[in-house]
A = this chain, B = another copy of it.
Amino acid sequence: MNILYDERLDGPLPQVNKAEFLKALQQALPDLDILWREDELKPYECDGLSAYRTTPMLVALPRRLEQVQSLLKLCHQKNVPVVARGAGTGLSGGALPLEQGLLLVMARFNNILHIDPAARTARIQPGVRNLAISQAAAPFGLYYAPDPSSQIACSIGGNVAENAGGVHCLKYGLTVHNLLKIEVLTIEGERLTLGSDALDSAGFDLLALFTGSEGLLGIITEVTVKLLPKPQVAKVLLASFDSVEKAGSAVAEIIAAGIIPGGLEMMDNLAIRAAEDFIHAGYPVDAEAILLCELDGVEADVHDDCQRVREVMTAAGATEVRQARDEAERVRFWAGRKNAFPAIGRLSPDYYCMDGTIPRRELPGVLQSIARLSEEYGLRVANVFHAGDGNMHPLILFDANQPGELHRAEALGGKILELCVQVGGSITGEHGVGREKINQMCAQFNSDELSLFHAVKAAFDPQGLLNPGKNIPTLHRCAEFGAMHIHAGQLPFPELERF
């Protein structure tokens, strides 16, 4: 799926002679593992967004920092683009390779360097898996809070590059809120330390700037994260609603009541049925929407909050509120949610997962508009998402073998994201922009803002060698794409009423 993407709009990339560069690389780094044969390159042609595929020119698999440093210096010198890749689980094509570029795989940097239980920090290499951090911290009663659904596979370098979120980021923040320090290499191979071991650092906040920059500013070589004490208790409530709008209102009411749940997730009927069929989580298959609300903390507090959330949900129109009776049921409730994407994958030959974030108060209206767009485009849309954060994940179901469906799915996805911008939200919550949403960036930002992004990019990488064609569109692309900057509140799409 890549129909609406025309890479010529990103301007010319450097032309690289593969054979010559390979020779130079082998000479400079004789002990570096390099893949260059067609069959070896195949597994690296996409990341988690498998609809976009490109065969990389070369794949490098370094083991030591000095190798990465030398490799970057060589790419810089020879004008060769570099795309960094961790575990390759990203959902926006951020690690999509370039035909004329090197794919730099950081997966072998997978050591946990130090867990400091007193400071509550972990110092790790970028290829360490998200879940492995919490596992290593568990003997000290600590864990790493951000938990993307892919946490069993995704690595921390990619989490930083995409500013990953997860079910618990409503209460515990995104990746950026859980970092202390990163070590990075610039395209020129210079080592930089961003952030510090203390809770604040001087100068511009380059740590935050780097987080979520999707490989455009440098290569992450080490990460120091904050660890949190494991909550004493976690309870989960499952509430059923006869409309998604009522469930949306309940979310706003819970937050307005001053409760900050550990997680607050919504699924609509299509998603409920798919998940139930796949996981047998015990979901009510006739509900139009469910909310899963987790409360965590100390016993007495959690007990009180459960009571209050139950009352708020009932007042908002819940037809049933169930508390997981035991830990096994709690885990089952979450398993349904965490496996909702593959579950929906069983309903349809293809699906397209969106990732927009909106102010919470807009949830009911935006859900209505998505339903209307779904009808208009003749494609089913399932909704499974981080409702507490207003981070939506509409899943557009389609069949790429049916003529026109692919194109329609991509167009519908674009409309949904532009709708998010229109109500004051963002085209991404936690998956990043990558290749996938580069056109929608033109709707999100005006040309002054985009120019500033380019100037910041140039401060780090003036030749534009790091992950070109991702995250920040060229002004030329935006002019060609046509749908320029939408100010929140504007109505660029006459077919959508203001709700």
Contacts and interface: CB of A to CB of B under 8 A. Distances in A.
B426 A200 contact: yes
Which residue, of A200, A206, A453, has the highest number of chain B Cβ atoms within 10 A? A200
A433 B203 contact: yes
Contact of A459 (B118, B120, B452): B452
Nearest to A437: B202
A192 B485 CA distance: 12
Contacts of A472: 203-204
Category for how many chain A residues contact B: 35 or more
Given A204-B213, A301-B301, A471-B203, A198 B456 contact: no
Contact of A452 (B192, B199, B429, B433): B192
Copies of this chain per assembly: 2
Given A141-B258, A176-B205, A200 B429 contact: yes
A471 B391 CA distance: 36
A176 B206 CA distance: 13
A298 B191 CA distance: 46
A359 interface: yes
Contact of A255 (B120, B391, B429): B120
A445 B193 CA distance: 9
Interface in A287-340: 297-298, 300-301, 304-305
Nearest to A298: B301
A365 interface: no
Nearest to A303: B300
Given A452-B460, A456-B459, A424 B196 contact: yes
Interface in A205-226: 205-206, 208-209, 211-213, 217
6 A-B pairs with least C-beta separation: A229-B258, A208-B208, A300-B300, A455-B459, A198-B357, A197-B424
Interface of A: 116-120, 141, 163, 165, 173-174, 176-177, 186, 190-193, 196-206, 208-209, 211-213, 217, 229, 252, 255-256, 258, 297-298, 300-301, 304-305, 357-361, 389-391, 420, 424-430, 433, 437, 441, 444-445, 448-449, 452-453, 455-460, 471-472, 488
